[in-house]
Structure 1
Amino acid sequence: MKKTLIASALLGLFASQTAMASDETAELRKVIEQQQQVLKDLEKRLEETEKRVEQTADAAEANASAKSATTIGGYGELHYNNMSNKDAQIDFHRFVLFFGHEFSSKTRFFSEVEVEHVIASHDDKGEVELEQAYIEHDFSDALTGKAGLFLVPVGLINETHEPPAFYGVERNPVEKDIIPATWWEGGLALNIKAAPGLAFDAAVTSGLKVEENFKVRNGRQKVSEASAEALAYTGRVKYTGVPGLELAATAQYQSDLTQGDASLGEEAAATLLEAHAVYNIGDFTVKALYAQWDIDGAEAEMLGRDSQKGWYVEPSYRINEQFGVFARYNEWDNEAGDNTDSKKKVTSVGVNYWIHENVVLKADYENQSGVLDADGFNLGVGYQF
């Protein structure tokens, strides 16, 4: 009897435990199924997130590529001039916009549009000018060519003249009146990287067409229906193989500066020679440049303009990232071929204050002598982007 009762009790307990285990198993299965559903939901959301990230990355890459292909930049400068020989004036001298486009890693387009003196009209001094518009192509790592309208490879200011890049409110008068910067022509050019630090430039372009005074600066045709009876041939060698040093020399030949104008007499073949040096020692920099024109023809000789030459030297010191000081002596003569003393001399000292690496405030004092006789000061603000 006792054994029967014990067996019954054990069977009851086992049945109870089995029922409880069955309930727990069912609950555990339910939890597992819920967790599996959660994991499926997470996987689905993760896949959707990855798709969105990929789409965003593709869009960003495409957008970045589009932005890098076409670039916009520019520069400008406002000047205040107070010289003793003329009335003081304030002038937004230049407003320039740059547009470039990269067709491929080897083929590019560059252009510059400039507005001078704010207003361009028949009654105003202002001008609207296209200073650059050319295609550049890399034929190899050592050979690059360009075709179109571009700056002549000569001097220091002609190719690099953004305001934060040079000292003084105004560009130096030697390169302005002798070279004459800013000077652009239309044609073809090649740049050859012959060795590390050694490069050659060669160009065949439209040339100058002087007026009856044979002043070189007035001969710039600016590629506006320019006479092309006599093309210009330019060559330059530049050496930058020593850190901090730049040496360069340019020669240009044009068979006739008059472009066949019979009223100016016989043909006036002309040769320009220019050489410059830049040397940086720490924060100290010195620049020196010499340029000279030799012009054939009786008309030019009669005016004393068969020889036109000038030079300048400019030491400067960068005190820190914001301040730099400079001094510059300029001497030039557009009538050096005559027997009279027609030299012009300008001595300048001043300071540049960069409130940003691409934004500069300038001030300088200027003393003019030789056939000039004036002094005064200039203030300016310039930018580039």
Structure 2
Amino acid sequence: MKRSTLALSIGALLAGGQTALAQDMPSAEEMWRIIQQQQKQIQELKARVEDTDMKADAAVEAVESGGGTGGGATWAETTQIGGYGELHYNNLDGSGGASDKDELDFHRFVLFVNHQFSDNIRLFTELEIEHALAGEGQPGEVELEQAYVEMDLNDYHRAKAGVFLLPVGILNETHEPNTFYGVERNPIEKNIIPTTWWAAGAGLSGELGQGFSYDLGVHEGLRITDATSFAVRGGRQKSAEADASDLAYTGRLKYTGMPGLELATTLQHQTDITQGSVANAGSANLFEAHGIYSKGPFGLRALYARWDLDGSGPETVGADEQFGWYIEPSFRLNEKWGLFARYNEWDNRAGNSSQSEMTQVDVGVNFWPHPDVVLKADYQMQDNDNGQDQDGFNLGVGYQF
């Protein structure tokens, strides 16, 4: 084939290929339409990615704030579970008509569940089983001792509403077994105050400066129905369908402005301590004052409490004045061992205006193998005006967590 023929053939092929390519290529209008469709698809994909990111951020925020059902880890950080318990062994010899006592008793098993809703709103609860077994014909009870919501009003004042422990005495608010000496709680804060004492209502508390603080409360009152003794302890309603015909008012002033020192006094008033159930009874007033001092290994506690009941009913049975006091020095030998002695004197009449004064001396030792675990042993000696004494020893183990 000649070169001219070959060149013509190649030129024809190229021209045909270009014609085919020109026929296959889209027009300018079609190219613009394709570009717009692709741009729309890109925008849709971008919007989907942004929406996914927003949902992921919202889920993370919900978890971190403890909201929803997925806040497990943070819920654990804002909710606290604790409690305490104590087992007692009492070996007491009765005289003058008092009974002997040889008994093992898991006196208290308590669980706390507290929750922090926000920086200034929190919940406190306390559920207790007394004497290990509750139910009809059983010695124990299941009791809700605390269930209240507290809110900060500002940096120095708080308000609360619900069921709470009343601000009176030393042990009523702080009674975990590793925080006090002796197997049993002292008889003054058992029979006169009476610990443990809680009520449904509302309260205010706060700091006044210079080491002073206050507590105020309006709450259910006592309801004493036993007109033969007017024993205060039997009047606790325990917030169980409590008769609120006559409310009680409690106020406390406390000073803690010096290291190792606490001084406090509480006043309470109730217009009718029987809620109208006893015609010849009237108002009741409680006065309590105590001091706590510690310096190095030496410790000292002292408390005085007094009830004044108006009306001819309490006066007739000699229960119009019920009072008691104790003093308790103690000494820490080291971090694990401590010794104490306590003198108690009280008179709650018990329906008998004569020979009703009671005294008890306790001496004993506490051993803390861990700061939150305690083993206790003490010996008690009574000298009561009615001659009905119980002398002997007590052993106990307690814990808190």
Give the TM bin, normalised by the shorter chain. Answer: 0.7 to 0.9
Q: How do 1:167-316 and structure 2 match up within 5 A?
A: 167-212=181-226, 213-261=229-277, 264-316=278-330
Which residue matches 1:25?
none
Q: Distance in 2 between matches of 1:304 and 1:267?
A: 13
Task: Determine if contact 2:220/2:244 at 8 Å carries over to the other structure.
Answer: yes
**Residue type at the aligned position of 1:291:** A
What's the CA shift string for 1:154-178, capped at 9, x where partnerless?
A: 0001000000000000000101000
Q: Distance in 2 between matches of 1:93 and 1:312?
A: 23
Which residue matches 2:81?
72
How far did 1:336 drift? 9.1
Task: Determine if contact 1:255/1:267 at 8 Å carries over to the other structure.
Answer: no
**Residue type at the aligned position of 1:71:** Q
**Residue type at the aligned position of 1:84:** D
- 2:175 is paired with a residue whose SS is coil
How far did 1:369 drift? 1.0
- 2:383 is paired with a residue whose SS is strand
Question: Is residue 360 from structure 1 mapped to residue 374 from structure 2 by the alignment?
Answer: yes
What's the CA shift string for 1:118-153, capped at 9, x where partnerless?
A: 111221110000000000111111111110000000
How far did 1:88 drift? 0.5
How far did 1:342 drift? 1.1
**Residue type at the aligned position of 1:137:** M
Task: Determine if contact 1:308/1:336 at 8 Å carries over to the other structure.
Answer: no
Question: Is residue 100 from structure 1 mapped to residue 114 from structure 2 by the alignment?
Answer: yes
Equivalent residue in structure 2 for 1:111, among 119, 125, 136? 125
Equivalent residue in structure 1 for 2:177, among 144, 155, 163? 163
Which residue matches 2:93?
84
How far did 1:266 drift? 3.0
Q: Distance in 1 between matches of 2:186 and 2:330?
A: 14
Task: Determine if contact 2:281/2:312 at 8 Å carries over to the other structure.
Answer: no
- 2:101 is paired with a residue whose SS is coil
Q: Distance in 1 between matches of 2:358 and 2:77?
A: 47
**Residue type at the aligned position of 2:179:** A
**Residue type at the aligned position of 2:273:** L
Q: Distance in 2 between matches of 1:309 and 1:162?
A: 25
**Residue type at the aligned position of 1:163:** P
**Residue type at the aligned position of 1:138:** D
- 2:257 is paired with a residue whose SS is coil
- 2:365 is paired with a residue whose SS is strand
How far did 1:71 drift? 0.7
Q: Distance in 1 between matches of 2:88 and 2:187?
A: 16
- 2:280 is paired with a residue whose SS is coil
Q: Distance in 1 between matches of 2:351 and 2:141?
A: 32
How far did 1:268 drift? 1.3
How far did 1:64 drift? 5.3
Q: Distance in 2 between matches of 1:90 and 1:337?
A: 30
Structure 1 alignment gaps of length 5 or more: 1-54
Q: Distance in 2 between matches of 1:203 and 1:300?
A: 26
Question: Is residue 144 from structure 1 mapped to residue 158 from structure 2 by the alignment?
Answer: yes
How far did 1:192 drift? 2.1
Structure 2 alignment gaps of length 5 or more: 1-59, 95-99
Question: Is residue 328 from structure 1 mapped to residue 342 from structure 2 by the alignment?
Answer: yes
Q: Distance in 2 between matches of 1:192 and 1:112?
A: 22
TM-score, normalised by the number of residues in structure 2:
0.79
Task: Determine if contact 2:303/2:326 at 8 Å carries over to the other structure.
Answer: yes
Q: Distance in 2 between matches of 1:160 and 1:341?
A: 33
What's the CA shift string for 1:29-55, capped at 9, x where partnerless?
A: xxxxxxxxxxxxxxxxxxxxxxxxxx9
Question: 1:337–1:217: structure 2 CA closer, same or farther, 3 Å change rule?
Answer: closer
How far did 1:188 drift? 0.4
Q: How do 1:50-65 and structure 2 match up within 5 A?
A: 65=74
How far did 1:87 drift? 3.2
Q: Distance in 2 between matches of 1:337 and 1:70?
A: 47
**Residue type at the aligned position of 1:289:** L
- 2:154 is paired with a residue whose SS is coil
**Residue type at the aligned position of 2:208:** A
Q: Distance in 2 between matches of 1:194 and 1:289?
A: 23
Which residue matches 1:33?
none
Q: Distance in 2 between matches of 1:288 and 1:141?
A: 32
What's the CA shift string for 1:331-372, capped at 9, x where partnerless?
A: 000029975231111100000000110000000001011234
Task: Determine if contact 1:307/1:337 at 8 Å carries over to the other structure.
Answer: no
How far did 1:66 drift? 2.6
Task: Determine if contact 2:212/2:253 at 8 Å carries over to the other structure.
Answer: yes
Which residue matches 2:390?
374
Question: 1:209–1:336: structure 2 CA closer, same or farther, 3 Å change rule?
Answer: closer
- 1:292 is paired with a residue whose SS is strand
Q: Distance in 1 between matches of 2:101 and 2:281?
A: 41
How far did 1:196 drift? 3.8
- 2:221 is paired with a residue whose SS is coil
Which residue matches 1:129?
143
